[in-house]
Structure 1
Amino acid sequence: MPEAFTLTRLTRLDARLVPHDWAWARDNAAAIAAHWAARKAAKPALFDGRVLLSCACTVTEGACRIDLFEVAFSEFLAFREGGSPDPAVANAFAAVVPWSRDGAVVLGVMGQETANAGQVYFPCGTPDRSDIRRDGQVDLEGSATREFREETGLSVPLGAPSEWLLVSGEGQHAFLHPVHMPEEAAGLIARMEEHRAAQAEPELAGFVATRSRADLDADRMPGFVRAYLNTVYR
């Protein structure tokens, strides 16, 4: 596992929406606007919607509590691409990790029109307003399964164990939900590709299967992906 990351098995995940005065975004408003204008000019499909970031995350005996607050995507993008300069804030997201019947992990390749073009990671997305419940809780599990379904066309099998791993580091909290699918990797990818081909504007450019550490790509796979896969491949 890369030294910058820690991996923690969770017994409980409690995510909630909180108010937060993000001084970094307020103090850097002009730089954020300029950064967004440049990124938008390069990739016109980018949309400045509302997303959620973390301002606190604690784990006690396997129980995780994370506080999330709402920001503009342009603020998030400038923050992330600027090296996550506010140590009190982190990019938090949840992802289904699909394991095939023959022991492969399937990942998606981000499309050229996305902010993360060419990167290879588990189908996922930054949580947003649609993940906020009426009671103020944030449904990270629902966010993970929704993104997985939207990007692959597949659903998490009924009765799949609710296993969660928190991979933290480099300004990120990645909540990973490993799921064992009933098909071999070739069949899974074929169904995913069929779904992708039917989309008018697919977010993914394709899919890859990994089976060992030899398949890890430091140039295209983010650190949290390599940190997880390094623990499961011996």
Structure 2
Amino acid sequence: MNQEILIARVASVEARVEVMDWPWALENRERIEANWQRRKALKPRMFNGRVLAVRDMELTADKCCMIYSEMDYSDFVGWLDLPQRDTGVANGFAVGALQGSDGAFICGVMAEHTANAGRVYFAAGTPDRSDIRSDGTVDLATSLTRELEEETGLATGYAVSEDWIVVRRWPAVALVRNVVVPEPAEVIAERIRAEIARQDEPELSDVKIVRGPPDIDPKTMPQWLQTFFEWQFSQR
């Protein structure tokens, strides 16, 4: 997987799943298991399901093509946590860049019980088996809107851009679509906070409004999100 930082706008994203062996996971089995037990002790609600990770990516002037393969979540988390990662794998996920009518963005603050507690980013989730269509393609567009609704409660009342912004900053490949709500960011933020208060086990603890470069926080925001915001604000 190319590790060069890249950001590009494309008209479409196509993704499919292929069965692939993963020698790195076999070679690091004991370390992966120890890491999973450590993680489970800290976050007992973590579940070892099956997720999809990027194994190949091709970018042209108007299209991004992705190949995913399935793996256990424990293997995926081990790959993220352990040193000497396999550079042939990436965490590729669809992202809804939630934006108000005033141009400000609204990010979520991950709740304490989640694997990424305290981290700040848009609604997103690593694809899993539920995102695979019967023909083996991956429905990233639906993954995006599902995660948005699950985390923020927003199911309707927004416009999703047709094009995608690909942000590759290894180990992440964020596939971003702008999601615009015809209300100011502060109003949207209060709606989401009200939804968080209603949920028994919300994924978010709060939201953060990002209006410009001073709001970019390297301590809580992943590198791909910092790259996205820097690019977005440079366009203004």
- Tell me the TM-score normalised to structure 2 length: 0.94
Unaligned residue ranges in structure 1 (runs of 5+)? none
Alpha-carbon distance, 1:170 to partner? 2.1
* Number of the residue aligned with 2:87: 87
Identity over aligned pairs, percent: 38
Distance change in 2, residues 1:213/1:159 (3 Å): closer
Cα deviations by residue, 1:8-42 (Å, 9 ceiling, x for unpaired):
11112110011010111111111100000011011
User: Measured at CA, do residues 59 and 153 of structure 1 come closer, stay the same or move farther in structure 2, by a change above 3 Å?
Assistant: same
Partner of residue 185, structure 1:
185
Matched with 2:32 is 32
State how 1:1-234 maps to structure 2 within 5 Å. Answer: 5-83=5-83, 85-155=85-155, 157=157, 160-234=160-234
Unaligned 5+ runs, structure 2:
none
Following the alignment from structure 2 to structure 1, what is the Cα–Cα distance between the partners of residues 155 and 32?
37
1:204–1:84 distance in 2 versus 1, CA, 3 Å: farther
Count of residues in correspondence between the two structures: 232
Taking the aligned partners of 2:160 and 2:143, their CA distance within structure 1 comes to 16
Shift in Å, 1:99: 0.9
SS of the equivalent of 1:88 reads coil
In 1, Cα distance between equivalents of 2:72 and 2:53: 10
Partner Cα separation in structure 1 for residue 188 and residue 116 of structure 2: 23
Shift in Å, 1:84? 6.6
Q: TM-score, normalised by structure 1?
A: 0.95
Which letter maps to 1:193? R
- CA 1:159–1:229 in structure 2 vs 1: closer, same or farther (change >3 Å)? closer
Counterpart-to-counterpart distance in 1, 2:117 and 2:212:
24
Dislocated runs of 4+, deviation >4 Å: 156-159
Q: Which amino acid aligns with 2:91?
A: N
Q: CA RMSD, aligned part only? A: 1.5
- 1:50 alignment partner AA: R
Letter in 1 for 2:229: L
Note if contact 1:10-1:166 (Cα within 8 Å) is conserved in structure 2: yes
Specify whether residues 84 and 149 from structure 1 end up closer, same or farther in structure 2 by C-alpha distance, changes over 3 A only: farther
